[in-house]
Amino acid sequence: MGVVTWYLILFSISLAFLLLRAKAKTKKQKKRLPPGPPALPLIGNPLWLKKSYNSLESDLRRLWAEHGPIVMVHMGPQRSIFISDRRLAHEALIQKGAVFADRISMPSKQHNILGARYGPLWRLLRRNLISEVLTPSRVKTYTHGRNWVLKILVQKLESESVRSDDGAVTVLESFRYAMFSLLLLMCFGEKLDEEQIRQIGDTQKKLLVNLDRYSLLSIIPTIAKIFCRREWNDMVETKQRQAELLVPLIRIRREKQGKKIVNEDDPNFVFSYVDSLIDLRLPDEGDRKLTDAEIVSLCSEFLDGGTDTTSTALQWIMANLVKFPKTQQKLVEEIDSVLSAERKLEGKEERGFNNIISEDDLQKMKYLKAVVMETLRRHPPAHFVLPHAVTEEADLGGYTIPTDAMINFLVVPMGLDEEMWEDPMEFRPERFLDRDEELDLTGSREIKIMPFGAGRRICPGLGLAMLHLQYYVANLVREFEWKVRDGEEVDLSEEWDFTTVMKNPLRVVLCPRSRTK
């Protein structure tokens, strides 16, 4: 082969390389990633690597002031994008919902709704939960369960008040116990005893508190078994304990189905979430049924999703009713007005549960809903929506959103937007009564608050959560006058504990209300 030929070959290769490099450079120049603090390759920003999400908000406010409402932070090798603007949230979650509905893949979270990638499995699991458990007609069948739990809750509050040296009660743990008991009934169809409830609750709490650590261990199991032996064994033991507690409950429901004991016409029968999972099949995985371990994962998700969030929101609502007694009195007047009109009670009503506020009554209590909505605006239980990811590169706010980034939408800034809310720091439920139309919590038309997220990944239990909050607030306010001891005040400072709770838990004096109407 001649010299000229070699030169031509080398020239062609060099030209091709230069063209490819120029094309790549041009493509790179077109990408404009969101701004943020400087980062080192692979390590990211060392200062941010040590931070947990709950400690980020003050730093993020500084970054938004400097860069605008969308910023990117390198937390180790992971790129995390944080968005505070409600318009950008609407563009991403509603207008471009299909693109922004993915999750970063986590091996330990493939067969549940929260962690599944956006696709057929996620659709199947979510559709099953909504159609089998969370439809209005199905939720109505759990009315007796809500009444049962209300009695337990009131009795606990009364007994703790009697045992207390000064008559004051710290209410959060009672709220958690009540919500967890109700969700266990909905999940497994059985009214469990107190010991079972506490054992399952303690195990679920441990898994929840260690969620990030256990997830990291699950990603690198081979390394974790060697270098993090103690942590690995702790995770394995906790998950084994969870299986020991939950699998027998699953098998009880499976045996009842196999023996055809299940009869939905039986007034004592409770259709459970597990009942809907036992015969569920996965078409994309050989049409197989779910394993016990996968059902445990879905049950765990169901229990966690509605316990801490609802009990935390319930504490915030009651804290504001205590802090603002005029609001509490106005709510009491609405409740009495609705009940008097509905039931036309005569004489003195016996104190007790002969006249629990029903779910039909709640529909007529507009101020009650306004109190709940205002609390969710001011004190959303979760300050971050669970991280999203994009199915393909997308543009948002003039920036390129890469497929490997975790996308975080902050809830609090949207509820405090001064363009949308007058005097946003003030607690004023009346703002929700003065509107021309009822605020859409789904954000489909416009995002104004998003305590349940928005778009395709919106919390499927939104309707159930709103029902539970209104039901328990109304009945607890009707049962007791809520106030603090003389000389004490309600402290609305916040603290992170999976959800954003009160730094100093609500401690109240409960005075039974007179029932003379």
Where is the binding site for heme, in residues? 459
CB 161 within 8 A of CB 510: yes
**What is the chain's Cα-based Rg?**
26
What is the C-alpha to C-alpha distance for residues 60 and 88, in angstroms, rounded to an integer? 16
How many other CB atoms are found less than 10 A from the CB of residue 432? 18
Q: What is the DSSP string of 128-169?
A: HHHHHTSSHHHHHTTHHHHHHHHHHHHHHHHHHHHHSSSSEE
What is the C-alpha to C-alpha distance for residues 159 and 173, in angstroms, rounded to an integer? 14
Write b or e for each residue in 186-205: b if 16 or more Cβ atoms lie within 10 A of its Cβ, otherwise e: bbbbebbeeebbeebbebbb
How many other CB atoms are found less than 10 A from the CB of residue 117? 17
Start-to-end Cα distance in the chain = 109
Q: Spell out the alpha helix ranges (H) of 259-324.
A: 273-278, 292-323
In the beta sheet, which residues pair with residue 401? 394
CB 80 within 8 A of CB 406: yes
Q: What is the DSSP string of 348-362?
A: BPPSSSTTPPPHHHH
Residue 38's SS3 state is: coil
Instruction: Output the known binding site.
Output: 459
